[in-house]
């Protein structure tokens, strides 16, 4: 991006912002949403400097903004949908500031953007990670031969279908590690459109037809053997599972994150589910080797949790070393720590999102997008 020579207003896409955050490039953001929206959720990154001035405070002129923005960094003006940021950014350009951009599609586009990266490849399979940077959500595609399996798909299912087309493969299996509370799953819709089998734990309470993991403790296709882990010992929800693939990769859902563990309090049974989570971490997962790579369903800090390979993930050994809740905790101590963390803020609109993911309730696309606005709040972080 030739920012040093740009003297007029230009759009910046969510993918361009993602690359700036990923590469830790300097960027100054002027967020013109109201203060409550800004404080709840914003674009963050190690290289990002940000300030908030509500749009209505700039209607009579941008002098206040000119006083607070950086004069030597490229400037990105951000609002909810694009219009307000474009108006303010144009005034800043007319006031003489160069290197000025507005976020194309606003924070709604940022929330929906999926950044694709190849995270693993060997003679038997290839794996892509889809990073939803604006939400901290992660999904995956495992490709082997002419088939593909998608893990925890977002509702923007075109992204997975495009990759499948580019790779010349057919999506034959779709799995959700649990019934998501912070975003709407694209799993059922993707399966319906592709003819794939859709898998979810029956105990999660979905009312639509699906393949229950209670009857499928493994999925085999081409050269991939996927083992369903923690089938009887959930943590984050009653039916949380992880997927152990070819004894090399662990798709850990909302059970184990790079910097924390899944929160067991959303169902109002924190002690019971914390006990289940303890049995998962210190039981079945304890038997998995340190060199296995863990790919979670969420992350909290893009730069901190990103590996040297440019993806969110780490070996199980690294996670065990850095996560104090996995350091030989006694069961009661573990449970008490989870109970104390249970006052964390719940995911926005999680009850309505859960109802939609169960198939009990329906929502048009615009409503689904509105429900998802904001950060994910599905982890309890205990990094040593």
The CA radius of gyration of the chain, in Å to the nearest whole number, is: 22
In the predicted structure, residue 273 carries a pLDDT above the cut 90: no
Domains annotated on the chain, with CATH = 3-109 (3.40.250.10), 114-381 (3.60.15.10)
As a whole number, mean pLDDT of residues 193-219 equals: 94
pLDDT-derived band at 349, boundaries 50, 70, 90: confident
Establish how many alpha carbons lie within 13 A of residue 196's alpha carbon, considering only the half-sphere containing its beta carbon: 29
Could you give the 3-state DSSP secondary structure of residue 228? Answer: strand
- Locate 226 and state its tokens: 């996927």
Query: What amino acid positions are annotated as catalytic residues?
Result: 79
Q: Which letter, b or e, does each residue of 51-60 get, where b requires 16 or more Cβ atoms within 10 Å of its Cβ?
A: ebbbbeebee
Q: Is the dihedral of CA 316, 150, 117, 223 positive or negative?
A: positive
As a whole number, mean pLDDT of residues 189-217 equals: 94
- Locate 241 and state its tokens: 């599972």
DSSP string across 43-85: ---TTEEEEE--GGGSTT-SHHHHHHS-SSS-EEEE-SSSHHH
Nearest residue to 378 (alpha-carbon basis) of 333, 344, 327: 344
Among 1-10, 71-80, 140-149, 292-301, the minimum mean pLDDT is found in 1-10
> Taking the C-alpha atoms of 233, 238, 239 and 244 in order, what is their torsion angle to the nearest 10 degrees?
-30
In the predicted structure, residue 204 carries a pLDDT above the cut 60: yes
Q: Tell me the whole-structure pTM to 2 decimals.
A: 0.91
């Amino acid at each position: 991006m030739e920012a040093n020579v740009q003297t007029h207003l230009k759009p910046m896409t969510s993918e361009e912002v993602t690359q700036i955050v990923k590469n830790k490039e300097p960027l100054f953001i002027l967020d013109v949403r109201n203060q409550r929206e800004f404080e709840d959720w914003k674009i963050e990154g190690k290289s990002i400097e940000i300030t908030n001035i509500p749009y209505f405070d700039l209607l009579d002129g941008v002098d206040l903004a000119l006083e607070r923005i950086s004069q030597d960094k490229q400037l990105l003006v951000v609002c909810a949908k694009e219009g307000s940021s474009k108006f303010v950014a144009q005034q800043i350009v007319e006031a003489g500031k160069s290197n000025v951009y507005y976020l194309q599609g606003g924070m709604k586009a940022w929330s929906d953007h999926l950044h694709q990266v190849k995270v693993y490849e060997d003679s038997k399979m290839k794996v892509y990670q889809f990073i939803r940077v604006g939400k901290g959500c992660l999904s995956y595609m495992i490709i082997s031969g002419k088939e593909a399996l998608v893990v925890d798909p977002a509702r923007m299912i075109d992204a997975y279908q495009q990759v499948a087309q580019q790779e010349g493969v057919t999506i034959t299996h779709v799995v959700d590690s649990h019934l998501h509370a912070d975003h709407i799953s694209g799993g059922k819709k993707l399966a319906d459109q592709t003819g794939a089998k859709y898998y979810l734990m029956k105990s999660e309470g979905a009312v639509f037809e699906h393949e229950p993991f209670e009857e499928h403790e493994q999925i085999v296709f081409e050269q991939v053997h996927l083992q369903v882990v923690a089938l009887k010992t959930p943590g984050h929800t009653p039916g949380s599972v992880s997927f152990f693939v070819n004894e090399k990769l662990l798709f850990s859902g909302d059970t184990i994150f790079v910097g924390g563990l899944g929160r067991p309090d959303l169902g109002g049974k924190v002690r019971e589910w914390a006990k289940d989570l303890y049995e998962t971490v210190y039981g079945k997962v304890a038997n998995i080797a340190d060199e296995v790579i863990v790919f979670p369903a969420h992350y909290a800090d893009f730069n901190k949790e990103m590996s040297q390979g440019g993806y969110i993930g780490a070996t199980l050994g690294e996670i065990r070393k850095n996560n104090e809740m996995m350091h030989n905790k006694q069961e009661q101590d573990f449970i008490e720590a989870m109970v104390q963390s249970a006052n964390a803020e719940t995911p926005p609109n999680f009850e309505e999102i859960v109802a939609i993911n169960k198939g009990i309730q329906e929502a048009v696309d615009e409503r689904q997008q509105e429900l998802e606005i904001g950060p994910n709040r599905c982890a309890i972080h205990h990094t040593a």
